[in-house]
Amino acid sequence: MTRINLVDPETATGAAAEQLDATQRAMGRTPNITRAMANSPAALKGYLGLSGALAHGALRAATRERLALAMAEANGCAYCLSAHTQSATRAAKLDEEDILSAREGTATDPKESAVLAFALALNAKRGAIDDADFAAARGAGLSDAELVEVVAAVGLNTLTNFFNKAMNTDIDFPVVLPGTVGQVEAA
């Protein structure tokens, strides 16, 4: 059960109401993460702003979804893993194999794989990557804009991973649990 109140879009007022309405229009729904974040309109505005800005950046939607899946798996966030499995399928048109590979931090495309490796190195080393990490990303063809956006996307996903874990946000997507890559469900 979510540890804080979920703001009801029907009764929200002020900035929270505006942001929840914008979320509803953009996504066709108001997920629990946004309803929980609406307790602080400033936090919700920051999350929505960075997310929206990156959607118009250098990284393709499929790349951003792969990165989000890798981060959710690495950080053990069931909420984000569930949400991004659905959006990777629906919005980014990734198939099951692509999704499972992304959760493992790999992709068939070398540049996509380099993005994931760079993102996971940033996450694991808390930003203190070494020259080899940077050289591998650059060697795979990542532009300055892409490198900057990978760092921004890692920050965004760390925010949502930590937020949902700390607040124990109720998952309002088909549930996907971290640590289950390659496991076969019992019939």
Q: Which of the residues in the chain have pLDDT under 70?
A: 182-187
Cα angle value 104/160/91 (rounded, 5°): 65
Contacts of 142 (CB under 8 A, 6+ apart): 111, 114, 115, 118, 150
For residue 183, what pLDDT is reported? 59
Q: Is 158 exposed, middle or buried (CB count within 10 Å of its CB: 0-12, 13-18, 19+)?
A: middle
For residue 182, what pLDDT is reported? 62
Domain boundaries, the chain: 14-54, 61-167
For residue 92, what pLDDT is reported? 86
On average, the pLDDT of the chain sits at: 95
Q: Which tokens hold the place of 90?
A: 């629906």
Q: Is 71 exposed, middle or buried (CB count within 10 Å of its CB: 0-12, 13-18, 19+)?
A: buried
Q: Are 49 and 82 in contact, with CB atoms under 8 Å apart?
A: no
Select from 147, 128, 145 the least CA-distant residue to 137. 147
Report the C-alpha gap between 91 and 64 in whole angstroms: 11
Which CATH code fits 61-167? 1.20.1290.10
The pTM (predicted TM-score) of the whole model is: 0.94
Contacts of 84 (CB under 8 A, 6+ apart): 65, 68, 69, 72
